[in-house]
Amino acid sequence: MLFVSICFGFTKPKNQYLTRNGQVTFFSYASAENIKAENNEVLSILDVNKEKIAVNILMRAFEFEKSLMQEHFNDSYIESDLYPRATFEGTILNFKPRLKGSQTKFIKGDFTLRGITKPVKIKADINYNDGEYTISGETTIDVKDYKIKIPQILASKIAKTVKISFNFKYEPYEK
Amino acid sequence: MKSNITLILTLLLFISNAVKAQDLLDQLYFEEKKKTVLTESTFKMLRIGFSHSVETRKKGVLEVSAYTRYWNIPEIEGVTTERSNFGSDRASARFGADYALNNNLSIGAGWSNNGVYDGYLKYRLIRQKTGEKKTPFSLTLLGALSHRSREIGNVSLSNNPDPSDIYNSSIPKGSVNINGGLRDKTNFIGQFLIARKLDRNLSVQISPTIIARGSNAFEEDPEVHLALGFGGRYKLGKHVSIASEYFYVPKQYALQSLETFGPFSLGVNWEVSKVQIQMFLTHTGDFSEDLVITETPVNFNTKDGNLFFGWNFSYVFHLKKNK
């Protein structure tokens, strides 16, 4: 029994790649003011065999140019205390693992923000070089889909969609 | 002993197998770093009503404010002596600015239309934290000076029911020696602001306060006042909360020349984007802590002369942006 456990327990997964400092940036273009925030602590894992990718975004790690905006973001809009993270889990369609160079693929999966899960399809550039993967791309989300309420007084000044761009540099995952 | 170790090892290995079997998102949860998170938005606004909250702004933020109070003057022997057309007989205002030198230290100043200049330093010494390193409360130190350039007639108004005494120049009308020097007319206020955000909606604060007078117009008044403030905020919605505060001033530390009442306020806070508005009911038309806490001559009720409507408006400028 012990022997069996050791055999399975110490099998290192060599088909997985991880990043601990992935970049996610969001932009909201608005008549009054553009809002931009950056998060450089995004976790993401890529499983080459399963052709799957997962992303974990801590909402408190978004940094805004304006500090009061960051406070409002966490306190009144995203409610980071109730919903500390946004997640994505999806499958890379027609993925060609270990293909040297660049490939542009769709990633289909579920995006969860503020406890609300919606299916999304994101176009991404996947790069494989020197045993390391890079995945980058952008997408837009509709704030209404995730029940982010914008007060009436600001409704005309704030964009209803938010552009999200990402850039993940993966390294082989070793536990 | 040996079999115990074997058992533990087996269990551990089973757990590690279980981890491996979970999906990718679960794997990421295990990769999350344990973090210490500062508790933000305890009161969100710099004031609970008339008094300071533990909050300071982040580095480079300038907050400008206009605080106003409106009230009606009481009828004398059933006769309304005067009425203005603006819904209230009297109004007072303080215009101020608060600048955050860094995330912990702020400096502020204000001018009130009753001739009071005030300035303060506010320093966040301890911050409430959750996560790996927990701290259960926040502590902010406040040191303020309040200077009276004119006599403030609280004392004569209350102690001398004969209204004509206002025109008798031999009776001191304020609590400080208004003919003295700069030091005589400047009071010091020190506060420990201790607050805890109990949950996402409810925050409470206790504020031990010391007020040292520059001078006394009446011998029987104490040179040093002690008071204990209580405050709270309850969030009703994403942008709206109710807030209330009260200062208890023990009799022996209160003014003796004038009957005073511990100040109280109850109101609604509203904030969106860079604008913050506080509307509350109170019973003082003054602004600086020394006046509000130790020289409020009427109690809180809805009678004319006692009921003051408070309106704090502030607007935030980000002078230094991150990156």
Rounded to 5°, the CA angle A17-A19-A22 comes to: 140
Q: Do B272 and A52 touch (CB under 8 A)?
A: no
Q: How far is CA A132 from CA A40, A169, B10, B15, B256, in A?
A: 19, 7, 34, 29, 78
What b-and-e string marks burial along B124-134, b requiring 16 or more CB atoms within 10 Å of the CB? beebbbeeeee
Contacts of A2 in chain B (CB under 8 A): 6, 9-10, 13
Give the orientation angle of helix B2-21 with respect to helix A2-9, to 10 degrees.
40
What is the token pair recorded at B223?
């040179």
Q: Do B13 and A6 touch (CB under 8 A)?
A: yes
pLDDT at residue B277 in the model = 96
Rounded distance between C-alpha atoms, residue B43 and residue A75, angstroms: 11
| Residue corresponding to tokens 């801590």 | A58
Q: Which of A35, A72, A85 to mutate to test the interface with B (most CBs of B within 10 A)?
A: A72
What is the token pair recorded at B250?
């023990």
Q: Do B24 and A153 touch (CB under 8 A)?
A: no
**pLDDT classification of B217: cutoffs 50, 70, 90:** confident
Q: For A78, which residue in chain B has the nearest alpha carbon? A: B238
* Pairing, β A171-172 against β B116-126: unpaired
Q: How far is CA A121 from CA A45, A105, A142, B26, B163, in A?
A: 18, 10, 14, 22, 78
User: What are B246-266's pLDDT values in tens digits?
Assistant: 999 999 999 988 889 999 999
Contacts of A58 in chain B (CB under 8 A): 32
Does residue B323 sit in helix, strand or coil?
coil
pLDDT at residue A7 in the model = 47
Report pTM.
0.84
B134 CB-side CA count, 13 A: 5
Q: How far is B40 from chain A (nearest CA, A)?
A: 7
Phi and psi, residue A159, nearest 5°: -65, 145
Q: In chain B, which among 17-36 make CB contacts under 8 A with chain A? A: 17, 20, 23-25, 27-29, 31-33
Find the CB nearest B17 among A9, A65, A153.
Answer: A9
Q: How far is B264 from chain A (nearest CA, A)?
A: 27
What is the token pair recorded at B46?
């710099």
Q: Do A154 and B273 touch (CB under 8 A)?
A: yes
What is the CA B16 to chain-centroid distance, rounded? 52
What contacts A4, CB < 8 A, 6 or more positions away? none
DSSP per position, B77-126: TTB-----SSSSSEEEEEEEEEEESSSSEEEEEEEETTSEEEEEEEEEEE
**pLDDT classification of B120: cutoffs 50, 70, 90:** very high
| Residue corresponding to tokens 């005073």 | B260
Q: Which of B23, B24, B40 to mutate to test the interface with A (most CBs of A within 10 A)?
A: B24
Q: How far is CA B276 from CA A17, B35, B300, B315, in A?
A: 46, 31, 25, 6
Cα Rg of chain B, angstroms: 25
State ipTM.
0.81
Rounded distance between C-alpha atoms, residue A104 and residue A102, angstroms: 7
What is the average pLDDT across B226-242?
Answer: 96
pLDDT of B155 > 70? The answer is no
Q: Do A67 and B9 touch (CB under 8 A)?
A: no
Q: For A149, which residue in chain B has the nearest alpha carbon? A: B238
**pLDDT classification of B301: cutoffs 50, 70, 90:** confident
A111–chain B Cβ distance below 8 A for any pair:
no
pLDDT of B195 > 90? The answer is yes
A82–chain B Cβ distance below 8 A for any pair:
yes
pLDDT of B21 > 50? The answer is no
Rounded distance between C-alpha atoms, residue A164 and residue B298, angstroms: 57
